[in-house]
Amino acid sequence: MARAFLFVLDSFGIGGAPDAEDYGDLGSNTLGHIAEFCAAGAGDRAGLRSGPLKLPNMSAIGLMHIAKLASGDYPAGMPVPERVFGLHGAASEVSRGKDTPSGHWEIAGTPVTFDWGYFASEGDAFPEDLVEAICREGEVPGILGNCVASGTEIIARLGDEHILTGKPICYTSTDSVLQIAAHEIHFGLDRLIKLCETARRLVDPLNIGRVIARPFVGESPATFVRTGNRRDFSVLPPEPTLLDRLVDAGRKVHAIGKIGDIYAHQGVSRIIKANGNMALMDATLQTIDEAADGDLVFTNFVDFDQLYGHRRDVPGYAAALEAFDRRIPEANRRLKPGDLVMLTADHGCDPTWRGTDHTRERVPIMSFGPGLRSRLVGIRDTYADIGETIAAHLGIAPGPHGRSFL
Q: Which of 379, 298, 360 is nearest to 65 (CA)?
A: 379
Q: Are the C-beta atoms of 10 and 300 separated by less than 8 Å?
A: yes
**Mean pLDDT in residue range 276-286:** 98
Distances (CA, A) of 148 to 173, 227, 297: 5, 21, 34
pLDDT band for position 174 (cuts 50, 70, 90):
confident
Q: Are the C-beta atoms of 289 and 334 separated by less than 8 Å?
A: yes
55/52 Cα distance (integer angstroms): 10
Residue 88 has pLDDT above 90, yes or no: yes
Q: Which residue type does 63 have?
A: L
187/195 Cα distance (integer angstroms): 11
Q: pLDDT tens digit string along 9-35?
A: 999 999 999 999 999 999 999 999 999
Q: Are the C-beta atoms of 350 and 11 separated by less than 8 Å?
A: no
Q: pLDDT tens digit string along 255-264?
A: 999 999 999 9
Q: pLDDT tens digit string along 104-162?
A: 999 999 999 988 999 998 899 999 999 999 999 999 999 999 999 988 899 999 999 99
Residue 342 has pLDDT above 80, yes or no: yes
3-state DSSP of the chain: CCCEEEEEECCCCCCCCCCHHHHCCCCCCHHHHHHHHHHCCCCCECCCECCCCCCHHHHHCCHHHHHHHHHCCCCCCCCCCCCCCCEEEEECCCCCCCCHHHHHHHHCCCCCCCCCCCCCCCCCCCCHHHHHHHHHHHCCCCCEEEEECCHHHHHHHHHHHHHHHCCCEEEECCCCEEEEEEEHHHHHHHHHHHHHHHHHHHHHHHCCCEEEEEEEECCCCCCCEECCCCEEEECCCCCCCHHHHHHHCCCCEEEECCHHHHCCCCCCCEEECCCCHHHHHHHHHHHHHHCCCCCEEEEEECHHHHHHHCCCCHHHHHHHHHHHHHHHHHHHHCCCCCCEEEEECCCECCCCCCCCCCECCCEEEEEECCCCCCEEEEEECCCHHHHHHHHHHHCCCCCCCCCCCC
pLDDT averaged over the chain? 96
* pLDDT value, residue 175: 85
**Mean pLDDT in residue range 60-82:** 96
pLDDT band for position 228 (cuts 50, 70, 90):
confident
φ/ψ region of 55 (left if φ > 0, alpha if ψ in -120 to 50, else beta) reads beta
123/263 Cα distance (integer angstroms): 31
Distances (CA, A) of 176 to 98, 111, 137, 236, 306: 10, 16, 22, 14, 16
